[in-house]
Structure 1
Amino acid sequence: MKLLRVDLTKREINTEEITGEDALLGGRGMVAKILSQEVDPAIDPLSEENKLVIAGGIFAGTKLTSSGRLSIGAKSPLTGGIKESNAGGTSADRLARLGYRGIILEGQAQDQLIMVINDKGVSFEAADELQGLGNYETAKQLLDKYPGAGLISVGPAAEYGVLSACVSNTDCDEAPSRVNGRGGMGAVMGLKGIKAIVLDDSQSDELALRKKEQYQEMAKDFSRIVANADTTANYRKYGTSALVKVTDGLGALPTKNFSRGSFEGSDNISGQKMYEEIINRGGEGKTSHSCMDTCVIRCSNIFPDEEGNTLVAPLEYETIGLVGSNLGIDSLDQIARINYKCNDVGVDTIEFGATMGVAMEEGLCEFGDFESVMDMLNEIQENTLLGRLIASGAKVFGKVLGAKRVPVVKGQGLPAYDPRSIKGLGVTYATSPMGADHTAGNTVRAPLKHSKKEGQVEASKSLQPFVAAMDTLGMCVFLAPSIGKKRHLLADLVNARLDFDITEDDLMELGRKVLAWEKRFNEQAGITKAYDDLPEFFRKEENPDSGASFDIDKDELQRVFDDFPDFS
C-alpha cells in the first residue's frame, strides 16, 4: 500500500511505500503522525504551509463490515490545534482499491482544480465551471462525466475559506452526503485549490490479501457477530436518531442553546417519529441504509417529504439535536431542509447549530424561527459579512456578540449531549485533543450514573485510546457495542490482514500513541492543558432537567492522560 503525496504549488506527484510498523497506520493515526512530523504547529492553518491528510484504514477495500471510514486531518482553522474528522461513504474503499492508504495535499494551487485519480495515476482539470456550486450540483456534473466514480468535494463555504467548512463524500447512492464535518477541514481543502477529488476505481484489481482465505473467513464471522447483535437491530430500525429519547430522558438533549436538557417537542423529532414518517410517506424513503458498501449495521436513512421525494440522506442524531432542539425547532421536515442546505453549502451542521443557538439567545432571531435559520444559510452561500461571521463558528461569533453562554471547547462547538447530564462525555469534551467531539470517547452507554461525577474520568480515560485505535483502523465506532468485550477480534483481523502478531493491548497502546502525538502537537501550538475544561456556565448553571452542573475538578480532568507514555 502507498501514500500519494501531491505538491499543489509545483504540481508534483510522488508515491511512498508504507512499510514496517507504519503498515498499521491509517486514518486518524496517519493524520497524527504526518502532522506531528511535518507541520509546524505555529503556522496559520489557512496558509499553504498546512497539509491536508486524507486517509483510510488498513481494512478499507477488503469488504470487512464497517471498515471504510475516511479520516481527513490538518491543523484546524477552527481550533488552532490538530484535527481529524471522520466520515463514512465510499472514498476510503475506493482509495484502497486504487492502491493508496492516503493522500497528502501540500502547498496551494493558483486556481480551483479537480484532481482525478484512476489506474493510470493522477491528473488535474480546471474547476472553473464548478466554482460556487453546491456539493449536490458539483456531484451531478462530475458523475455525468465520470459515471460510477466516487467523489470527495467541497461547497462554496470552503471556497470562501470560512472556518466551519466541511468536506463531502459520495455514498453508495452517489449522494455527496457523508461529511467530514468537524474542525474546518473544508476550508483547508478549498483554499488549497481543490474543489473535488474524483476516485475512479473502475479498472482496479481486487485488493491483494496476504492470508486471503483466513482473512475472508474471519471477516465473515466478524460480520455475523455484528449483524446479530441486539444493538445492531436498534440501529438498523431507528438509526442514530434513537438517541433523541435516550438523551431527552437523561436531561441531556441540548435545548435552546444548552439552557436545558429536555425539549417539549422531542417526541416530534425522535427516531420513532422519523421511522413512522418514512414508512407512511414511502417513495424514496428508507428507514435503513448503508453509508459504506459492506456495512451490516445500516444505521443510515433516507428521509422523504410528504410526496415521498428525498429531503436528505441521512438525517442523524447530532443534526437533530443541534439544529432541532437546540434551536427550538420541532419539525423533522424543517430539520431535514436545514441539513440538506448545510450539506450543499458545505458547513458542519453541529458547528452551525451551536452558532445559531448563540445567535438566537443574543436576539438575532427567535428560537424556533426556521425561516431565519434558512436565511442565515443563504447568507453563508452568498458570502456576506453576516454569513462569514456565522460560518466562523460559535466561538468567533460569540466573541463578536459579547455572548456569555457559548458552548465550545478549544474553539469547537459542542455536539448534542449536555455535559452536565452525561459527565463522562463532558470529560472527553474537555480533555480530547480534538476539542468538543462526541466521537472521541462517548460514555453514554457506560454503566454509570451519568449525572454523578464518580467514575466519569475513568470511563473517558478507557474509551479515548480505544476510539483513537478504531479511528486509526478506519473502523466505525458503532461496532464497539456490537462486539462488546470481544475486542481481541480486531487484533485477530489485523494479524490476518498484515501478517502481524499483535494483541488487544497493543491496539490500546496504538490509541495512546496517537493521542500522545495529538497532545504534543497541540501543546506546541499553544493549546496546553489549561484549555482542558468546559465553558464556565456549565459549572455555574444547573441543568434544570437533570439537576446537575459540571462539578469534576480541573485537576481530576488531568488524570485522563496522567500515565500516558512519552512518545516524543
Structure 2
Amino acid sequence: MKFIRVNTLTNEITEAAAASEYADLGGRGLTSSIISKEVHPRAYALGADNKLVLAPGLLTGTSAPCSGRLSVGAKSPLTGTIKESNVGGLAGQYLAGHGITALIFEGKPEREKCRILVISQNEIKLEDKNSLRGLGNYAVVEELQREYGSQNVILSVGPAGEMGAAVASIAGTDMEGRPSRHAGRGGLGSVLASKGIKAIVIAKPANPFVEAANARQFKESAMEFARSLNESKKALRNYGTAVLVNSVNGVGGLPTRNFSTGHNEEALHFCGERLHELCQERGGATGHPCSRGCAIRCSNVYHDEDGNYVTSGLEFETIVLLGSNCGLNNLDEIAKLDRLCDDLGIDTMEMGVTLGVTMEAGLMPFGDYTMMCEAIESVAKGTQLGKVLGQGATVTGKILGVERVPAVKGQGMSAYDPRALKGTGVTYATSTMGADHTSGNALPGRGGLDCHKPDGQVKLSQELQTMTMVCDMLGICIFVGPLPENMPVMTTLFNSFGDRQAVPEDLMAMANKILSIETRFNHAAGITQNDLPRFFRTEPLPNNNLVFDVDEEELKQINFYC
C-alpha cells in the first residue's frame, strides 16, 4: 500500500507505505479513516486544515466485475460532515495500477493557484497551468489530452469549483476520454480547487491489472460473478438507470415540482424506454460501460436530433431532479442541462433540488428551460444569484424563505420521495452522508417489504447501509446490489485477493466500524440530525395520501456510534 501526499502549500510530494491500521481498507473505508484521523471535525472545509483523499476500492484495478470505483473523501463544504463520493471511469483503475492506495492533498497555497498534478510511470509532479483557469471540463480535457496524450485519464474541476461552490463536482474521463463521470455529491470539487488543483493527469500504467494473491480462485469467482450479473441486469443494460422512472412513478414516489407530488403524468416522455428509443434512433448507445470490466453496462451515450453527441451517462437521478422535480419533461432539454452541469463541474442532483426550491420561491417558473440554463451558468460565473444557488438547496431555501426544502444534513434529496419509499427515507434521515440514496437505497420490493408501509424499514435501511459500505470499501458499483445473496461472492473475492480467511460477517463488521468512524466525526462536528424535514411527516402526497410515518424513536435504533 502506497500513500502519496501532495502538500499544496510547500509543493512537496512524498511517498510512504501505509500504516498497518489501514490494512484491508480501500475506497470509502480508507477515505473516511484518513479524514477522521487527520482532519479536525470543526475545520473549515475550504481551508488549509481540510484534506482531500482519493482512494481506489480494495478490488479496483482487478478483474472483478464492476470494481472500477474511485472514492473521493473530505470534510464537505455542503453538509459540514465527513463525505465520500465515488466515481467510475478509469481513474481508480489507473491509480491502482500505479500502486497508489491513497492520494492525499493537504495544505493550501498562500495565493490562488491553477495547477495540475501529473502522474506518470516514473514521476509525480505539480505543474502550473494558468491557461486552464476558468475553463469548463470539456475544454480542460481537450487541452490536456492534446499535451499529454489521449491515453491519459483526467480528473478535473470546472469553474464552479474554482468559485468555491458547495455544489461543485470532480469530473473524470470515461472510456472514450470525455469528462462525463462525476464524483458529484458534497461539493468536493471546491475542496480540490481550494488546494489550487485544477486537474490530475494519470498515465496508463504499465501493468493494466492488479494481481490477486490467489489468482486462480479470484479469476474463477470473478468470472462466475460476471456471468450472474450479465444475466440478472438486462433491464439496466437496455434502459439504463432511467428504467427506474416508471417503477418509482408507479409507486407514487417520483419527485415532481419540488416534491409537491410523487406522480408525473408525463413520465413516458423521459422514461428508460424513451431514452433507449432515442439513443437507437439517433446513433447514440445504450449498454455502455462506464469503466473497464463492467458486467452491467447501465450507461448510455445520448445524441441530439441531428445525431450529435450531447452527453454520456444520462442517469435516473439527473433526469428526475433536473427534469420532473423542476417541471421539465423534455428529455432533450434535460440532456443539455446534464451536459452543462458536467462542463461547469456541478452536481446535477444538488442543482436540481436547488432549482426546485428556487422555483417554489417564485424566482423562476417551473419548466422554464432557458432560465434554468441561466441559473446554472450563474453558479460558474459567481454572480450574486449564483453564489446563493452554488451553496445548495438548504442555504438557498433559507435565503429565499422557503419552508419546503427537501434536504437532510444540508444535502438535497435523491430522486425518491421518502413518503412513498419509506426505507430510502430512513436512509436519508440516518445516513452519515446526508440525504443520499447511495448510502442504502430501498427500492420498491426490496427486502420483500411494502415500500408504502413503515414496518421493517428501519431494519432494512440499517442492513442496506452496512452492505453498501462493503461495496464502497471494495470499489464495487452499488448496481451490483448490496444484497445478502451477494455477500458470499464478495467475501470470496476479498479473501482471494489478499490471501485472507474472512467470512461475510467479518466484512459487515468492518463496514460498521467505518460507519461508526463517520458518525463520531459528524457528532464532533456538531451534526446529529436524524430525521427528515417536517413537511414530509405532515404534508400527504396528493397522489396516494402518504406521509413519512416511520416512528421518530424507531429511527434512533440506527446508531453506528459505537
Is the TM value for this pair above 0.5?
yes
Question: Which of 142, 150, 154 matches 1:151?
Answer: 154
Task: Please tell me whether residue 214 in structure 1 is matched to residue 213 in structure 2.
Answer: no
Aligned-pair CA distance for 1:185: 0.3
Bigger drift between 76-85 and 198-207 goes to: 198-207
Write the distance in 2 (CA, Å) between the matches of 1:107 and 1:302: 38
**Residues 85-120 of structure 1 deviation map (CA, whole Å, 9 limit, x = unaligned):** 111111100000111112111001341110001111
Write the distance in 2 (CA, Å) between the matches of 1:207 and 1:433: 31
Write the distance in 2 (CA, Å) between the matches of 1:351 and 1:205: 35
Write the distance in 2 (CA, Å) between the matches of 1:471 and 1:209: 19
Which residue in the other structure is 2:120 paired with?
118
Task: Please tell me whether residue 557 in structure 1 is matched to residue 555 in structure 2.
Answer: yes
Write the distance in 2 (CA, Å) between the matches of 1:414 and 1:327: 14
Q: Secondary structure at the match of 1:259?
A: coil
Which residue in the other structure is 1:380 paired with?
379
Write the distance in 1 (CA, Å) between the matches of 2:345 and 2:217: 42
Aligned-pair CA distance for 1:381: 2.4
Write the distance in 1 (CA, Å) between the matches of 2:124 and 2:374: 40
Write the distance in 2 (CA, Å) between the matches of 1:73 and 1:491: 24
Question: Which of 538, 541, 557 matches 2:539?
Answer: 541
Write the distance in 2 (CA, Å) between the matches of 1:223 and 1:466: 19
For residues 125-524 of structure 1, what are the structure 2 equivalents within 5 Å? 125-147=127-149, 148-204=151-207, 206-229=209-232, 232-282=233-283, 285-444=284-443, 445-446=445-446, 447-480=448-481, 485-524=485-524
Aligned-pair CA distance for 1:21: 5.8
8 A contact 2:287–2:299 mirrored in 1: yes
TM-score scaled to structure 2, two decimals? 0.97
**Residues 15-55 of structure 1 deviation map (CA, whole Å, 9 limit, x = unaligned):** 22236462311111111111111110011111110000111
Write the distance in 1 (CA, Å) between the matches of 2:217 and 2:450: 42
Write the distance in 1 (CA, Å) between the matches of 2:210 and 2:79: 37
Tell me the number of residue pairs that the alignment of Structure 1 and Structure 2 aligns.
557
8 A contact 2:94–2:205 mirrored in 1: no
Match for 1:50: what amino acid? N
CA separation of 1:484/1:286 partners in 2, compared to 1, >3 Å: closer, same or farther?
Answer: farther
Aligned-pair CA distance for 1:312: 0.8
**Residues 235-289 of structure 1 deviation map (CA, whole Å, 9 limit, x = unaligned):** 100010000001110110000000000112111010011111111222xx00110
8 A contact 2:245–2:316 mirrored in 1: yes
8 A contact 1:252–1:546 mirrored in 2: no
Q: Secondary structure at the match of 2:356?
A: helix
Aligned-pair CA distance for 1:339: 0.4
Q: Secondary structure at the match of 1:183?
A: coil
Write the distance in 1 (CA, Å) between the matches of 2:499 and 2:16: 21
Match for 1:22: what amino acid? Y
**Residues 339-390 of structure 1 deviation map (CA, whole Å, 9 limit, x = unaligned):** 0000111111010000100111111111111110011122122221111111
**Residues 521-555 of structure 1 deviation map (CA, whole Å, 9 limit, x = unaligned):** 00000012xx1110111111001123210111221
What are the ranges of 5 or more consecutive residues in structure 1 without an aligned counterpart? none
Match for 1:363: what amino acid? G
CA separation of 1:79/1:206 partners in 2, compared to 1, >3 Å: closer, same or farther?
Answer: closer
What are the ranges of 5 or more consecutive residues in structure 2 without an aligned counterpart? none
8 A contact 2:519–2:561 mirrored in 1: no
8 A contact 1:119–1:204 mirrored in 2: no
Match for 1:29: what amino acid? G
Bigger drift between 244-253 and 552-561 goes to: 552-561
Which residue in the other structure is 1:98 paired with?
98
Aligned-pair CA distance for 1:565: 6.9
Match for 1:560: what amino acid? I
Match for 2:451: what amino acid? H
Which residue in the other structure is 2:78 paired with?
78
TM-score scaled to structure 1, two decimals? 0.96
Which residue in the other structure is 1:43 paired with?
43
8 A contact 1:149–1:202 mirrored in 2: no
Write the distance in 2 (CA, Å) between the matches of 1:62 and 1:254: 38
Give 4+ residue runs of structure 1 displaced > 4 Å after superposition.
none
8 A contact 1:422–1:450 mirrored in 2: yes
